[in-house]
Structures are given as C-alpha cells and as structure tokens.
Chain A
Amino acid sequence: MRPRFRDLRATGIRGSADSRPAQSGAPRYPGWLVLPAVAWYAVFFLVPLGFIAATSFGQVEGFSDVAYTWTLDNYRYLWDDVSGDLHLYRDIFLETLKLSIVGTLSTLVIGFPLAYYIARYAKHKTLLLLLVIVPFWTSFLIRAYAWLIVLDPEFPLFRALGLTGFLERHEILFTPNAVYIGVAYNYLPLMVLPLYAALERIDWSLVEAAQDLGDPPLRAFRRITLPLALPGILAGSLLVFIPLTGEYIIPVILGGNKTFYAGNLIAQQFLESEDWPLGSAIAMVVIGALTIALVVYARALGRQEQHS
C-alpha cells in the first residue's frame, strides 16, 4: 500500500504518467472534452500573462491608469536605479536569488536524511510520509505566522531557559534569518516528497553489495545512492526553487519591513505605489529568470538521462 506518486512524477518533473502511445484504433472519449479546461486556462491564465507582458511596456497615466506606450523605460529603470553606490532593484533581485538558493539547499539538507530514513528503514512508511504531507495541505499563512510566536524572545520556552534577554539583544524575528527559517519550514514537504519517491525505488542490496566488496559507507553513498537519488533531488529543488522566486507571505510576516525580495516588490507596486507597469516589469523579470533556470535544468536532466 505504498503511495506511488505517479501523479508527482506526472507533475512534469519527468515527462508524463502515461507513456503508453495513443491507441488510435480503440474507441475513446472525444478530444473536445479538453476544450472547456483549455479555454479556461487560455482566458484566465495565458491572456492575463499576456496582459502583464504588455503592461510592463506601458506607463502610469493619471493616478493609476495604464497607458500602453511600448516603452522600455520600466526595464531600464529596474536596471539603472541607483541610490549612492547601490543598485536598488538589482540588489533586490540578487537577494531573491540568494533566498531561493538558500531555501532550496536548506530544505535539501534538512529533508534528505528524513526521506532517506523513511525510504530505507522506517516500518510505517505510508504513515510517516503522510505526516510529512499533512502540514503541506494546511494553510501556508498560518504556518508562516506560527513562527511569529515561536521566534518571539518572550516565547515561554525561551523564558524557561532564560534566553529571553539574549534573544532580545540578538534578534531573529524581523530579520532575514527569520525569513530563512520560515522558508525552510514551509517548503520542507515539497522537497521531501520527490526525494522519497526517488529513494524508495532504490534497491538497497546494491549498497550492501558495494559495502561487502569493500566500499566504505560514504563512498558507497556517493557512488550508488546519490546518483540514484539525483532525479528526486532535481525534482525537489525545482518544486522549492520556482515558487520561492516569488515568495511574498513569509518576508512580509517574518521579515518585518527590513527585508525585500522580488515578491514583495511586485506586491508593493500594486498595493501601495499604484505603479502597475513597473510591477508588471518586475514580474516579467522573474518569469524570464525562471525560464532560463528551467532550460538549464532541462539540459542537466537530459545529460543525466544520457548518463544512465
């Protein structure tokens, strides 16, 4: 009764779940059944993305209207904006990249041993896996704000340990570190699932054989476990990295007003500055960067498949 994560694999991480070729002869449900969903996607997803692409080349007109003037000013502004020695927007994009990388690596480091334990040693695999998934299905917002309580210097545990004073001097809450903690926490299930899916398929007798033949455990891990787990590592990294590039909730709640990333920058243009063209341009930069990252990823995956 192990969940097979057929659907996870189908999430586009490694092609489609139904690799069977279409049997054109057998009778089947008519193809037009896909039309309502495709129309919905087209009108309420693709067209809106087209709208922000167009808006990113526009200008603010009047108070908050958009004039579609086909100018590159917004992008130029994002690239050039300088205050003293600082390139404001460029730095925020770099910070966002850093957040995405640190978040991906920390969930990988925290999640790998857990997935490894469940896949190789645990008795109640399904239950333990379910326990990883359950937080993922609960409200992201609540899981983020829970850390407002847990990281407070006056949290009862810190009071009991006498750490309140120390933590008041070395604040965690409302600093980038609080954001990193919140990210590692909220995104952990997304990393563990694909890791488990890959590790669960490993034939552990291979590892034992390598060790019997004299490989020290670490070497056996590097030569056998790691290559076999690589698809899971890549898939998990993707699932964490992509949404992190636009992370909005965690920096706002846990970062106070001192931390800025692409996500809050976009939101700010829409909620406060009423500069929709600039906000759209920032969103386009995020999408562009993601597309490049995905192409690199696909290349890496192709090489890995050739290899095996």
Chain B
Amino acid sequence: MTGRRLLGGYAILAYVFLYAPIAVVVVFAFNGGRDVLYWQGFSTKWFEVALETPEIRSALKFSILIALGNAVVACVLGTMLALALPRMRSWVRTPIDALAYMTLVTPEIVFAIAVLVFFVQAGSRLGLESPLGWHTILIAHVVFNASVVALVVRARWVSMGQHLEEASFDLGAGPLSTFRQVTLPRLAPAILAGGLLAFTFSFDDFITSFFVAGTNSETLPIYIWGQLRFGVTPAINATAAMMLAFTLVVVVLAYLVLRRSGQERDSGGLPGV
C-alpha cells in the first residue's frame, strides 16, 4: 500500500517534470516586460507584436501551406500503402515494411543532409539555378509522414476486418468503386486522424526543413531557431505559445476523431510513433 502511494507521488512529480517547462514558456509569453526572466505584469502585447512581425506572419503562412500540402500527399500515399500491404506476400511485404519504419527511425540529421545532397546534385544535373525551396521541404516531409499515415490507417484497416470489401469485389465492383462506396466511409476517420498527425509533424519539423529550405523559405521553427541565437525574447515565447496551442488543437482533434470512430470497436488512442 505504501509502495502504491509512493509511486503515486512520484507520478505527480513526473507530470510536473513533463509539463513545467512548457508551462513556463506559455506563462512568460504573457509577461508585460521586455526582460524574459523578470515578471512585470500580465499582458498580451507580445502576441500582438509577434502577429505584426512580417517575418513571423510569412513564416506562419509558409509552415501551414507546407504542412497542408504534405498532409494531403501523405494521406494519398499512406492510405494506398496501408490498403494493399497487409495482404501481400511476406517476401514483398517485409522489405516494404522495413523501408517504411526506416523512414521513421533514421536519425533526422542523416536524412536531412541526404536529401540536401540529393536535391543539390540532382538540381545541378538538371541545370536548375536554385533547386531548394518550399517544394523540397514538402517532398522531404512526405517521406516520413506517408509512413505515419500508413501506420494509423493500417491499424484501423486490419482491426476492422475486410468482409465488406470482399463482398463488394465478389459482387463485381472494381477497386475504385469499392474504395469510394465501402472502404472510404469506414476508414475516413483514420485517414483524417493520420492526416492531422502528419500536419503537426510537418508543422513542428525543424531539422529537415532547415537543411532543405534554401535561402528564401523560412518556416516558423526555422525562424524561432534563428532568433534563439540572440537569446529568448518574450516575442519568441509568444510565437512558441501560439505554435503549441495550434499543435495541441490539431492533436486533440485527431484523438477525438479516432476515438469516436473507434468507440464500438475499442481501438481508439493515438499511435505512439
């Protein structure tokens, strides 16, 4: 019994550890003063400052557009992968599986410089002036986000059974109409949730974006990184707080979508990776 209480107390400490630093950033975003570490009254002025900074506005727009485009492409590729892969022969499936997992576990810096070298070399061979830009960020993000969507969609796809699809095929429907009329309605929540998670992954990504961005494509994390060289400022805290809020809303949305659709089947919950 005492062990249990001790562990309970420990768990509270662990949650404080997990949330205190994030809370500090958010709280200090509302600091009225110019100095980050000295509290000078509550104020929302740094949010106004942040939202009026042209660099932050354009970086925000940029981040959202890239994350959206990435989510759409990742949803298409990931869903197609998830639909066909589970029933393939293992000598085909195993290597493709391994490849998809590799895109998720490779240290990001290695992937980032690899695509950088690839884009620059391919670009110079194709005679492009400056091959890097928003499109290279998007292409690179899709690599690991297609795997994220595939994981989420496939978990649902495998757990819900495929008798309806088999019936549809037996009755003569082709893959396209079976997908539209049978599979899509059932899988839509999982695809949406996967897409939302892919969105946040791209929106928050720093390392890959940083290396393949070129000179004119600043995303929000790249902007924050650049500003950190001059130390933390209240405006940076405000920008970070907005990013946190934005990501949280999207993640909670993904969780609710997955959970609601999984209610009758007991398999809600966010994927771990």
A residues whose Cβ falls under 8 Å from a Cβ of B? 1-8, 10-12, 16-18, 20, 22-24, 26-34, 36-38, 40-41, 44-49, 51-52, 55, 66, 110, 113-114, 116-118, 121-122, 126, 128-135, 137-143, 145-150, 152, 154-156, 185, 188-190, 193-194, 197, 217, 238-239, 242-243, 245-249, 253, 263, 266-267, 270, 276, 279-280, 283, 286-287, 290
Task: Name the contact of B110 in the complex, choosing from A5, A18, A246 (C-beta under 8 A).
Answer: A246
Minimum Cβ distance to chain A for residue B262 (Å): 8
A-B contact pairs, 18 of them (CB 8 A): A2-B266, A3-B268, A17-B155, A37-B78, A37-B80, A44-B140, A48-B118, A52-B110, A134-B248, A135-B22, A139-B247, A141-B204, A147-B21, A150-B24, A154-B38, A239-B273, A266-B113, A267-B113
Q: Which residues of A contact B39 (CB under 8 A)?
A: 156
Give 7 nearest A-B pairs by CB, closest first: A3-B269, A246-B107, A27-B169, A146-B21, A8-B272, A48-B114, A48-B118
**Once the chains bind, are B110 and A51 in contact (CB under 8 Å)?**
no
Bound together, the chains give a CA A6 to CA B271 distance in angstroms of 8
**Once the chains bind, are B224 and A286 in contact (CB under 8 Å)?**
no
A121-B7, A137-B197, A286-B110 are known contacts; what are 8 more A-B pairs with Cβ within 8 Å? Answer: A4-B269, A8-B272, A28-B84, A48-B118, A145-B25, A149-B37, A185-B21, A270-B116
Residue of A whose beta carbon sits closest to that of B5 = A121
Chain A CB within 8 A of B251 CB: yes
Residue of A whose beta carbon sits closest to that of B73 = A40
**Once the chains bind, are A16 and B155 in contact (CB under 8 Å)?**
no
**Once the chains bind, are B169 and A117 in contact (CB under 8 Å)?**
no
Minimum Cβ distance to chain A for residue B218 (Å): 14
Q: Which residues of A contact B36 (CB under 8 A)?
A: 149
**Once the chains bind, are A141 and B98 in contact (CB under 8 Å)?**
no
**Once the chains bind, are A246 and B17 in contact (CB under 8 Å)?**
no
Interface residues on B, range: 35 or more
Bound together, the chains give a CA A23 to CA B158 distance in angstroms of 13
**Once the chains bind, are B204 and A140 in contact (CB under 8 Å)?**
yes
**Once the chains bind, are B21 and A140 in contact (CB under 8 Å)?**
no
**Once the chains bind, are B240 and A142 in contact (CB under 8 Å)?**
yes
**Once the chains bind, are A12 and B98 in contact (CB under 8 Å)?**
yes
Minimum Cβ distance to chain A for residue B194 (Å): 10
Given contacts A37-B81, A45-B103, A145-B228, contact A28 B169 (CB under 8 A): yes
**Once the chains bind, are A33 and B80 in contact (CB under 8 Å)?**
yes
**Once the chains bind, are B206 and A16 in contact (CB under 8 Å)?**
no
Chain A CB within 8 A of B126 CB: no
Interface residues of B in 1-23 (CB under 8 A from A): 3-4, 7-8, 10-11, 14-15, 17-22
Task: Name the contact of B97 in the complex, choosing from A12, A44, A45, A290 (C-beta under 8 A).
Answer: A12
Given contacts A37-B77, A114-B10, A149-B232, contact A48 B84 (CB under 8 A): no
Minimum Cβ distance to chain A for residue B93 (Å): 7
Bound together, the chains give a CA A114 to CA B13 distance in angstroms of 10
Q: Which residues of A contact B158 (CB under 8 A)?
A: 6, 17-18
Q: Which residues of A contact B25 (CB under 8 A)?
A: 142, 145-146, 149
Residue in B90, B151, B197 with the greatest tally of chain A CB atoms within 10 Å: B151
**Once the chains bind, are B247 and A41 in contact (CB under 8 Å)?**
no
Chain A CB within 8 A of B121 CB: yes
Given contacts A33-B84, A110-B14, A146-B21, contact A6 B89 (CB under 8 A): no
Q: Annotate B101-145 by CB proximity to A: 1 below 8 A, 0 otherwise.
A: 111111111110111111001000000000000000001101100
Task: Name the contact of B107 in the complex, choosing from A142, A147, A286 (C-beta under 8 A).
Answer: A286
Residue of B whose beta carbon sits closest to that of A121 = B4
Interface residues of B in 57-102 (CB under 8 A from A): 76-78, 80-81, 83-90, 92-94, 96-102
Task: Name the contact of A34 in the complex, choosing from B96, B101, B105, B117 (C-beta under 8 A).
Answer: B96
Q: Which residues of B contact A3 (CB under 8 A)?
A: 267-270
Minimum Cβ distance to chain A for residue B121 (Å): 6
Residue of A whose beta carbon sits closest to that of B13 = A114
Chain A CB within 8 A of B225 CB: yes
**Once the chains bind, are B80 and A36 in contact (CB under 8 Å)?**
yes
**Once the chains bind, are A141 and B206 in contact (CB under 8 Å)?**
yes
Q: Which residues of A contact B169 (CB under 8 A)?
A: 27-28
**Once the chains bind, are B115 and A48 in contact (CB under 8 Å)?**
yes
Task: Name the contact of B77 in the complex, choosing from A36, A47, A140, A193 (C-beta under 8 A).
Answer: A36
**Once the chains bind, are B154 and A17 in contact (CB under 8 Å)?**
yes
Chain A CB within 8 A of B56 CB: no
Q: Which residues of A contact B152 (CB under 8 A)?
A: 7
Given contacts A10-B154, A40-B146, A121-B4, contact A194 B272 (CB under 8 A): yes
**Once the chains bind, are B272 and A37 in contact (CB under 8 Å)?**
no
**Once the chains bind, are A7 and B143 in contact (CB under 8 Å)?**
no
**Once the chains bind, are B232 and A138 in contact (CB under 8 Å)?**
no
Q: Which residues of B contact A37 (CB under 8 A)?
A: 77-78, 80-81, 100, 146, 150
Minimum Cβ distance to chain B for residue A146 (Å): 4
Given contacts A34-B81, A152-B37, contact A137 B247 (CB under 8 A): yes
**Once the chains bind, are B268 and A132 in contact (CB under 8 Å)?**
no
**Once the chains bind, are B114 and A52 in contact (CB under 8 Å)?**
yes
Interface residues of B in 168-203 (CB under 8 A from A): 169-170, 175, 178-179, 197, 200
